[in-house]
């Protein structure tokens, strides 16, 4: 059965995700099959931004699981098809607290930058700045997959930094726009 699925993916040039005996169950190799025979499979692997990072050959008998056409792979396909739009070295990270960030909120609001707002070292939200005053920031939350996740109002003094223009934020913006939900309002969004 697994050989039939792999052969179909190879012939139709479909993206696949495989898990083998050599890697953990919660990890997989995602890419395109470039070689296949009775015993071996060669896959050209993609990174999270849809860029080819090399090829790997596995014994078919070592493959534990094959996945096709899940949501992550559909998003990775979009990134792969549009990888030329990614601009490395565009990332801007600002570590300031609270009201010292207000001048930067103006920039990201006007430029409609998808931004990662940090509340502690490991606690952050991603989204678009919709509105702000001296005490609060309203954000349209955007998930890693580019899906809208509601609107939230945060206290500015709880924010310790922000980042925009990085590859991660560029990918989220690409997915957001490709999914046809890109809407930006200068006041609270009623999309």
Counting the structural domains of the chain, the total is 2
172 and 117, same domain (yes or no): yes
Question: Is 185 within a domain?
Answer: no
**CB-CB neighbours of 165 under 10 Å:** 19
- Contact assessment for residue 175 and residue 146, using Cβ atoms and an 8 Å cutoff: yes
Inter-axis angle of helices 167-178 and 71-81, nearest 10:
100
Q: What is the pLDDT of residue 183?
A: 45
**CB-CB neighbours of 109 under 10 Å:** 19
7 and 63, same domain (yes or no): yes
Q: What is the pLDDT of residue 41?
A: 94
Strands (E), 98-135: 115-120, 123-132
Whole-angstrom distance, CA of residue 45 vs CA of residue 15 = 10
Asked if pLDDT for residue 180 goes beyond 90, the answer is no
The arithmetic mean of pLDDT across residues 78-101, rounded, is: 94
pTM metric for this prediction = 0.82
Range of the domain at 137: 92-178
77 and 144, same domain (yes or no): no
33 and 96, same domain (yes or no): no
CATH code of the domain containing 164? 2.30.30
């Amino acid at each position: 059965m697994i050989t039939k699925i792999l052969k179909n993916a190879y012939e139709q040039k479909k993206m696949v995700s495989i898990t083998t005996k050599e890697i953990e169950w919660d990890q997989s190799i995602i890419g395109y099959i470039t070689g296949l025979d009775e015993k071996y499979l060669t896959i050209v692997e993609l990174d999270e931004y849809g860029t080819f990072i090399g090829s790997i050959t596995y014994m078919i008998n070592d493959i534990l699981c094959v996945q096709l056409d899940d949501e992550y792979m559909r998003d990775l396909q979009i990134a792969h098809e549009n990888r030329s739009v990614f601009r490395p070295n565009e990332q801007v990270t600002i570590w300031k607290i609270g009201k010292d960030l207000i001048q930067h909120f103006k920039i990201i609001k006007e430029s409609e930058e998808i931004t990662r707002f940090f509340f502690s070292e490991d606690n952050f939200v991603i989204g678009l700045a919709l509105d702000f005053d001296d005490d609060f920031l309203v954000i349209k939350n955007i998930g890693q997959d580019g899906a809208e996740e509601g609107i939230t109002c945060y206290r500015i003094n709880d924010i310790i930094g922000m980042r925009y223009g990085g590859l991660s934020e560029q990918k989220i913006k690409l997915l957001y726009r490709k999914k046809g939900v890109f809407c930006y309002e200068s006041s609270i969004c009623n999309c």
